[in-house]
């Protein structure tokens, strides 16, 4: 299974649970690190924690604090030559782990190194942790690829592979502990659509590819749309704006799901083969209602700002999620939204929007969600009334940020607690913000991906500032 799920450290779990008022979870985490106390003492501690958390959450920003980004003297160059500040949960700190120009997607190797893709250079770098905890050593793991992007480790019959996507292919390399360079390249999927297609005349809006591999050795490949909105992508072979399924060796291709304009983040709910995706939806949507406003079929900035929402969706076989004919409407809430007809591509209703698969969770329009990583605290309770069991998982999504919204949005890493009974994300929370200092100045950083290292820290990539950050708990 794709290594996008990681058991997080007890300290990070404790923060997640405190935000949710889940004192039972906090008690469980603490019990792993200190002797058990009598039941009456546990009860008092739970009540005290719940009350304190409720008070904290009553005030705006109570859960997060503005802290200075820690930067080693050797890394104080470029955007980091001046002090930078980010907003992180109380008792956390964030540091500049490494400078990686154009850093996109990441994966941790089984032996604790970090691979980072650089599509603009055609390279994948390896960051090797320093023995003294300082700046990691940077090595070129593989170079000369065509816009490498996503990176996934997967073991089959005792052989560990690292899969790396290119804009026109999916490669895999056998990985051994201690490797610092990729070896034995195998192209498992080839001839994928990118800007080299003659029919696209050198332009492909979302040609970077993303993948996930499940516990049954099935590979899922997201092929983004070539455009903002176009019917031609729905008729191409392969279909663009879709997810395909393959065997892990690249055989047995079939169309798995469609209507997904640009699904960059792919991941599985921990302990399952249930695929979810973070999806960028269309821009410049025309007003779809024939009402007294007189705005029907016009592109109105005040409407475009909030429509359609970006998406966090459960991906099921055979489903169609609407693009480019139907758009989810967030006006009455972000959960399981109904669809509106797209009056630029579906004005006559030839595509029935009522037959589309509804989106599970909306994200503010134009936020540009990219990386998706599921977390798990490995709770084993099967008691349906156990709140700890209900929220033992969660999802991190990096929001790259808007480019055409009248008021900027995104530019942060968000967290969705997970309801294990309903198998659904709950209310969105901000994990790290501050790259956007205000809504008028251009942000100094744009997060792309977030992963969990073996120590339970959160690593965040940023292709604008050319950085990888490390978010840790401050004891």
Helices (H) and strands (E) in the chain, counts: 6, 30
Report the range of poorest mean pLDDT among 268-282, 385-399, 401-415: 385-399
Mean pLDDT of 273-291: 98
For residues 403 and 416, give the distance between their C-alpha atoms in angstroms, rounded to a whole number: 24
Token representation of residue 69: 């980004």
Reported confidence tier of residue 475, pLDDT bands at 50, 70, 90: low
Reported confidence tier of residue 327, pLDDT bands at 50, 70, 90: very high
Angle at 402 between CA 398 and CA 404, to 5 degrees: 165
Mean pLDDT of 367-396: 65
Are 243 and 221 in contact by the 8 Å Cβ rule? The answer is yes
DSSP state of 132: T
**Closest C-alpha among 363, 388, 365 to residue 378:** 388
For residues 31 and 35, give the distance between their C-alpha atoms in angstroms, rounded to a whole number: 6
Radius of gyration of the chain (CA): 22
Is pLDDT above 90 for 68? yes
Query: What pTM value is reported for the model?
Result: 0.88
Mean pLDDT of 348-352: 98
232-254 burial, b if ≥16 CB within 10 A, otherwise e? Answer: ebbebeebbbbbbbbebebeeee
Report the range of poorest mean pLDDT among 32-36, 74-78, 197-201, 293-297: 32-36
pLDDT in tens, 420-431: 889 999 999 999
Backbone dihedral region of 333: left (phi > 0), alpha (psi from -120 to 50 degrees) or beta? left
Computed over every residue of the chain, the mean pLDDT equals: 86
Q: What is the DSSP string of 334-354?
A: SBSPPEEE-TTT-TT--S-GG
Is pLDDT above 90 for 152? yes
Cα distance between the two ends of the chain: 33
pLDDT of residue 455: 85
Are 196 and 157 in contact by the 8 Å Cβ rule? The answer is no
Mean pLDDT of 308-316: 98
Token representation of residue 148: 């490498």
pLDDT in tens, 156-192: 999 999 999 999 999 999 999 999 999 999 999 999 9
What the chain holds in terms of domains, given with CATH numbers, is 5-473 (2.120.10.30)
Are 390 and 426 in contact by the 8 Å Cβ rule? The answer is no
pLDDT of residue 90: 86
pLDDT of residue 5: 57
- Output 19 or 279, whichever has higher pLDDT: 279
Are 2 and 154 in contact by the 8 Å Cβ rule? The answer is yes
For residues 409 and 400, give the distance between their C-alpha atoms in angstroms, rounded to a whole number: 9
Is pLDDT above 60 for 207? yes
Is pLDDT above 50 for 214? yes
Is pLDDT above 70 for 116? yes
Backbone dihedral region of 355: left (phi > 0), alpha (psi from -120 to 50 degrees) or beta? alpha
Question: Which runs of E-coded beta strand occur in 1-113?
Answer: 5-7, 64-68, 85-89, 92-99, 106-108
For residues 153 and 160, give the distance between their C-alpha atoms in angstroms, rounded to a whole number: 7
pLDDT in tens, 217-261: 999 999 999 999 999 999 999 999 999 999 999 999 999 999 999
For residues 368 and 129, give the distance between their C-alpha atoms in angstroms, rounded to a whole number: 30
């Amino acid at each position: 299974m794709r290594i996008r799920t990681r058991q997080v450290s007890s300290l990070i779990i404790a923060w997640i649970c405190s935000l949710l008022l889940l004192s039972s979870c906090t008690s469980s985490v603490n019990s792993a690190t200190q002797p058990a106390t009598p039941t009456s003492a546990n009860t008092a501690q739970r009540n005290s924690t719940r009350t304190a958390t409720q008070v904290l959450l009553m005030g705006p920003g109570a859960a997060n604090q503005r802290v200075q980004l820690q930067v080693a003297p050797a890394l104080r160059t470029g955007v980091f030559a001046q002090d930078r500040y980010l907003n992180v949960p109380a008792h956390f700190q964030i540091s500049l782990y490494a400078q990686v120009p154009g850093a996109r997607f990441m994966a941790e190797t089984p032996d604790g190194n970090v691979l980072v893709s650089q599509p603009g250079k055609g390279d994948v770098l390896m960051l090797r942790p320093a023995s003294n905890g300082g700046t990691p050593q940077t090595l070129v793991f593989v170079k000369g690829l065509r816009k490498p992007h996503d990176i996934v480790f997967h073991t089959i019959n005792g052989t560990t592979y690292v899969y790396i996507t290119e804009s026109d292919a999916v490669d895999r390399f056998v990985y051994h502990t201690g490797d610092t360079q990729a070896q034995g390249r195998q192209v498992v999927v080839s001839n994928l659509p990118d800007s080299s297609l003659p029919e696209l005349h050198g332009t492909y809006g979302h040609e970077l590819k993303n993948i996930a591999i499940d516990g049954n050795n099935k590979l899922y490949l997201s092929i983004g749309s070539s455009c903002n909105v176009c019917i031609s992508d729905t008729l191409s072979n392969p279909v663009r704006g879709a997810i395909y399924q393959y065997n892990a060796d690249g055989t047995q291709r079939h169309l798995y799901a469609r209507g997904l304009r640009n699904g960059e983040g792919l991941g599985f709910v921990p302990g399952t083969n249930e695929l979810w995706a973070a999806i960028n939806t269309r821009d410049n949507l025309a007003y779809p209602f024939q009402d007294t406003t007189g705005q029907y079929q016009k592109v109105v900035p005040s409407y475009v700002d909030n429509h359609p929402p970006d998406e966090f969706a459960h991906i099921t076989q055979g489903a169609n999620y609407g693009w480019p004919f139907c758009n989810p409407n967030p006006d009455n809430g972000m959960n399981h939204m109904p669809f509106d007809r797209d009056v630029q591509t579906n004005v006559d209703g030839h595509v029935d929007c009522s037959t589309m698969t509804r989106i599970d969770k909306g994200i503010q329009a134009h936020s540009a969600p990219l990386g998706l990583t599921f977390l798990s605290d490995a709770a084993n309770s099967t008691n349906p009334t156990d709140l700890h069991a209900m929220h033992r998982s969660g999802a991190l999504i990096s929001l790259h940020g808007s480019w055409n919204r009248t008021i900027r949005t995104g530019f942060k890493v968000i967290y969705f607690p997970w309801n294990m009974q309903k198998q659904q994300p709950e209310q969105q929370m901000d994990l790290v913000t501050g790259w956007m200092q205000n809504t008028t100045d251009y942000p100094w950083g744009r997060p792309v991906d977030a992963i969990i290292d073996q120590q339970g820290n959160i690593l965040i990539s940023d292709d604008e500032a050319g950085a990888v950050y490390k978010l840790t708990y401050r004891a």
